[in-house]
Structure 1
Amino acid sequence: MQNKLPDLDFNKAAIFLDFDGTLVDLQPTPDAVIVSDSLRKMLLQLNEHTQHALALVSGRSIESIDQLLALPDIAVSGSHGMQYRWESTQSIQHHPQVSAVPDALVQQCQQFCQQHGLLLEQKPLSIAIHYRSHPDMERQVENFLSTLIGSATQLEIQTGKFIRELKPRGIDKASALAQFSQSSPFAGRIPWYFGDDVTDEHAFAWVKQHNGISVKIGDGDSCADYHLSSPQHVLEYFLKNLTSEEDYARQ
């Protein structure tokens, strides 16, 4: 992976951003994330400079993103490509192949988390077990979920940093990029994707297949072509390009 990214051409780029670990530092629980005013301002500027060809692509639900950011005019995909919203005037849409995790499985996950002191995050279309506070339980969590879904071919386990998520099979962040890129203002632009986790690898691969720019944030192996060390470096990169764009416009 290369550490020096090319400069952004805002008139040609479609920018797709993961949230946790990419724009904000990871925290012990999803609710502990802090969103600064400077991050909100930067996202609004990126949205304006790309003529609204900016989208957040998160494992969080759109409802969770809205609660943290309160920027409904920015396009967003939530729950690993299972939810979409292009603009504030639209309601949240679901991927056509999505169905909710059965209640019986949700209840068993609740019991498992209560028994072991783990955090269960219930999303509209999936459920996630967080074990950051008990990292030694990774294998036990995986075995529990594998046994739980058994031969249920419509479900799969999504791997993440100290998290395992039970979700519908075959829908991921690459699905979100494909969905956005079929329509204006994203269609015909060069895709840029920034992400930090295993859950972003499908998106990196999709971007590379479409001659875009894939950027891995933080440590770990990745199929991405470029690398930035932290969310702070992501913000610095965008602010540098925004400043250069505004300086050029004043000339």
Structure 2
Amino acid sequence: MQRACPPPSCPSTLDPPAPLALDAHTALFLDFDGTLADLAERPDEVLVAPELIATLRSLQQSLQGALAIVSGRPMAQLDALLDPLRLPLAGVHGAERRCADGSVQRVNPPPLDPVQARAEALAREIPGLIVERKPAAVALHYRQAPQAAARCVEVMEGAVRASAGLALLHGKMVLEAKPEGATKGHAIEAFLREPPFLGRRAVFAGDDVTDEAGFVAVHAAGGHTIKVGDGETAARHRMATPAALRAWLADAARALASTGAAPAVASTDP
């Protein structure tokens, strides 16, 4: 069974590398929940400010389309949250992906009904648990029942062990059964082989252990990574909160739109 976790050698604090700035040759990849948007008690309670939509639209234009959202959410949810933007997307941790040309690629997942049935049985037993069925995954959210974390892990690990071809992701108060080969790292690698991302320097920002595969892939491509929040990570830059990342992106969007250059951010621990 595959788990998403940071490499054991990664430090909990980061040594400051050279400051990082976006420029016209950047390929920008952004996680959504906990990175662009603040986390909420329930996935359907997340709010997106109009200012963020304006920032992403400006960045998309300045980067000539080389901006993609790489998220655990399904693409349909991302489109609804970011409406009227229609960006390249990787949803469900890369199990579905919309390229810049509008074509869509999807992983055919193993059967998910047995995992969903066990998660729903546990949710009937423990108030506050939320089972979310996605196009190629099943997520069990326990943010409203943190005391049940160990029981949730036990049940979901058992369900995934009994289902060939699935892996279990351990995220922030969520456990997610998804296809083994679907990772954010693979999704970013695929984008980087295609226009308009091809030949650009990748920058990826994420907040969770589910983003670590993306950080590793971006480093292998010679790019830069930003961890939002605390915790051990392979990322080489850090921002304290989604609000700090949004402010930096807004500054970068304004600078790129006016001069073609953007302000740098150094790595500082929250």
Query: Normalization by structure 1: what TM-score?
Result: 0.92
Residue aligning to 1:27: 40
> Which residue is equivalent to 2:140?
129
SS of equivalent to 2:178: strand
Q: RMSD of aligned C-alpha atoms? A: 1.7
Aligned with 2:69 (options 48, 53, 56): 56
In 2: Cα distance, 1:29 partner to 1:194 partner: 22
Match of 1:115 in 2: 125
Correspondence 1:219 to 2:230: yes
Amino acid in structure 2 at the alignment position of 1:169? E
Matched, 1:199 2:234: no
Query: What is the count of residue pairs matched by the alignment?
Result: 245
- How far apart, in 1, do the equivalents of 2:256 and 2:179 lie? 41
Q: Which has the higher contact order (CA 8 A, sep 6+)?
A: 2
SS state at 2:72 partner = coil
Where 1:80 maps in the other structure, the secondary structure is: helix
Matched, 1:9 2:19: no
- Which residue type is aligned with residue 238 of structure 2? H
User: In the alignment, what sits opposite 1:156?
Assistant: 167
Question: Identity of aligned pairs, percent?
Answer: 31
Which string of whole-angstrom CA distances, capped at 9 and with x for unpartnered residues, describes residues 50-105 of structure 1?
00000000000001111211145311110000011124x7354203xx31533233
Residue of structure 2 in register with 1:90 after alignment: 102
Structure 1 position 246, deviation (Å)? 3.4
Contact 1:101 1:127 survives alignment (8 Å)? no
Question: Do residues 183 (structure 1) and 190 (structure 2) align?
Answer: no
Q: Mapping of 1:222-237 within 5 angstroms?
A: 222-237=233-248
**Residue type at the aligned position of 1:113:** A
- 2:112 maps to which of 77, 96, 102: 102
Q: Say if 2:180 is the partner of 1:166.
A: no
Which whole-Å deviations, capped at 9, do the CAs of 1:172-212 have from their partners, x for residues lacking one?
10011011111100011000000000000000111111110
Structure 1's unaligned 5+ residue stretches are none
Give me the whole-angstrom Cα distance separating, in 2, the residues matched to 1:145 and 1:155: 11
Q: More displaced, 59-68 or 233-242?
A: 233-242
Rounded to whole Å, the distance in 1 between the matches of 2:119 and 2:53 is 35
Measured in 2, the distance between the counterparts of 1:201 and 1:165 equals 15
User: Contact between 2:115 and 2:159, CA under 8 Å: does it hold in 1?
Assistant: yes
Name structure 2 gaps, 5 residues minimum: 1-13, 261-270
Question: What SS is found at the alignment partner of 1:129?
Answer: strand
Distance 1:246 1:106, change over 3 A: closer
Equivalent-residue separation in structure 2 for 1:246 and 1:152 (angstroms): 49
Give 1:235 shift.
Answer: 1.4
Do the aligned residues in 1 keep the contact of 2:41 with 2:143 (CA within 8 Å)? yes
